[in-house]
Structure 1
């Protein structure tokens, strides 16, 4: 069962909540004006299976139009255009949930954002840590012993704290309604010269704290800016177009469960205009913190999300394949086509551009409320 959002040009322009059934799109905005409303229903799967929505035709032409845009073609302005499948949910992200990403964050920290130092630091880092971090369970007595030993040797890192300590790194990735969807360009801050995509599975969590579905995400990352200082995380992570989510949220049911997420392989392909191509994969079985644990660390008695939230689960992808020169590792070039794929969730495809060059974000919460009210879609309880 797939849930998403589209922009409809007729009968009046505005966003619509859609269900995909049998390859057909159905507008269910009259029953659930926002995806947040829909996901909060206790019977969300049965609702999605049986609600009588307005037919919008086959889903393939909508996806194909978005795909042309993702591959550098003109932005689609057809009658129905794909949007990110979330709306009022806060977009949160988990950091340093895989060992390889932990090591790469430590490299960024020690390189001070300079990619030319990364190769040398990477080669020596495992000797400094001295153990296989994959075998260390975060928050365990073994992790605490390692922490105390590294502190004694003056080798402790803030990234080790969230990588093997009891508390996960949970941060706010993007403002409400700022995420871009399948086919839209993603944005890099023009100050960044060392950056990469972060392919991740993203959980859709209801206001009750229950994960009700999952989708794909690209947590666009600026390695040089965060490497200069972890306090620049907001500048490194939150820019125009720096958060892509989609194409649809797949609801958990008898055929798709959290165990599907736990065992998923997430693949990444990057193709550049310069002939460069990179292929990689992440295995969710190697995550150091269980997805349900990450959800509970994000919300509970200590923090509520009345409209639900989207939670990026983290990535093990930190590319070291040289692109611009020996030892410099990977960085994006403008025009790169990024494809994130796993069989159970499909593919999320976006073109890389500058955050200053893509379409500005102007449709926020007020715009959504005014638009729904004008179209007669808001209902009182």
Structure 2
């Protein structure tokens, strides 16, 4: 499977690749050709997104074809070496943020995780009780609205109010740091699970690109790998549940907004996901952005503003409605990953993000950070 099959040739797709003997390069996808557009004016994706008009700049940037999409996909394997030609995650200097509990379905599952204290054996019975009380009362609710406050009062009376419902239907969104700049992995790479976890799942999401001015410039796909047992024990373990070696995947490319691809397109996007295990297990799931409880622009506004600046911009995961409950290993325990699972997240306008699941300790160590990037660019005469 290729990372992208572009039905609209006018789409502007940019990203980053690793070129052997050179390092990280800014690229544009021209049909099936991967064109290196790195220059002193555009040494990084950050530099592109900070220009007055990133779309026109990306389209007009001169470049050199270096490979085809098929060749790039073939070399972007889970076992690719550190100097192999491969796709990288699009962000470089940007912070990588994520918003949680933005869909009613995921809100309910977070409540179940909390009630079960991270124990999957207890989840099925709690799911029945929570479903009986909550029902469809969260469907279509506007966070922070009078109706939301009425639902909050009912749930409190039933003893089911949760910190997850607070950020799900309360006025304030949950926004956290998913990983450090350049810690995300790209298409084809291994994604990692912390070895202490035995109840975990992928989270297919759309990821927005925002510059330092707060402009929402484009979108890509992401896998916000989640450790349900760790976060379920305590929300204060969110960092341990979310930020581990190779626990964030983004890609394949960033599609820049234009007249035909806008934030409204994102609002109507339909994501699909398939998990295939070496044991023959197959899990199919979907996440419809039309069912998001918080508007993407609202989440961005809660993230950046006078209260918080991002001088290098940021990428923002928008959350998912996907919360797998299909049993895999035992009745009532729901889904959890096996090592070697292949996760493919797809959306018609954004292509496909494919990664293989391993323990974080079995994924390549993250060693190329901001200091390494600056040294690399300086050595190449790009700074």
**TM beyond 0.5:** yes
Pairing of 1:4-83 with structure 2 (within 5 A):
4-10=15-21, 13-30=22-39, 31-66=41-76, 69-70=77-78, 74-75=79-80, 80-83=85-88
Contact 2:49-2:211 within 8 A present in 1 as well: yes
Equivalents in 1 of 2:257, 2:104: separation in Å?
28
Corresponding residue SS for 1:370: helix
* The 10-residue stretch of structure 1 (14-23 or 208-217) with the greater mean CA deviation from structure 2: 14-23
CA deviation string 1:31-76 (max 9, x = no partner): 311111101112111111111112213222102322xx24xxx426
Displacement of 1:151 in angstroms is 2.8
Q: Could you say what secondary structure the match of 1:108 adopts?
A: helix
Displaced runs of 4 or more, over 2 A: 57-60, 76-80, 126-131, 148-155
Q: CA deviation at 1:104?
A: 0.3
How far 1:152 moved relative to its partner? 3.9
Write the distance in 1 (CA, Å) between the matches of 2:363 and 2:135.
Answer: 45
Contact 1:90 1:309 in 2 (8 A): yes
Cα offset, 1:130, TM superposition: 5.5
Deviations along 1:109-132, one digit per CA (max 9) or x if unpaired, are 000000011100001102233652
Unaligned 5+ residue runs, structure 2?
A: 1-11
Cα distance in 1 between the residues matched to 2:112 and 2:320: 16
**Scaled by the length of structure 1, what TM-score is found?**
0.95
* Cα distance in 2 between the residues matched to 1:106 and 1:179: 28
1:106 aligned onto 2:111: yes
Give the distance between the partners of 2:159 and 2:119, measured in 1 at CA: 22
1:231 alignment partner, one of 213, 219, 236: 236
Given that residues 119 and 328 in structure 1 are in contact (C-alpha distance below 8 angstroms), is that contact kept between their aligned partners in structure 2? Answer: yes
Partner of 1:336: 341
C-alpha distance in 2 between matches for 1:64 and 1:47:
29
- Alignment length (residue pairs): 371
Normalised to the residue count of structure 2, the TM-score between the two structures is: 0.94
Please give the alpha-carbon distance, in whole angstroms, between the structure 1 residues aligned to 2:84 and 2:342: 25
Contact 2:117–2:234 (CA under 8 A) maintained in structure 1: yes
C-alpha contact (below 8 Å) 1:21/1:49 kept by paired residues: no
Which residue of structure 1 lines up, in the alignment, with residue 170 of structure 2? 165
Equivalent position of 1:306 in the other structure: 311
Offset from partner CA, 1:225-272 (integer Å, 9 cap, x none): 000000000000000000000000000001211111111110000000
CA RMSD of aligned residues (A): 1.3
* Larger displacement relative to structure 2 (221-230 or 57-66): 57-66
The aligned counterpart of 2:202 is: 197
1:292-348 CA distances to partner (integer Å, 9 max, x unpaired)?
Answer: 111101111111101110000000111000001000000000000000001100000
Q: Distance in 1 between matches of 2:307 and 2:291?
A: 28
In 2, the alpha carbon distance for the partners of 1:324 and 1:79 equals 36
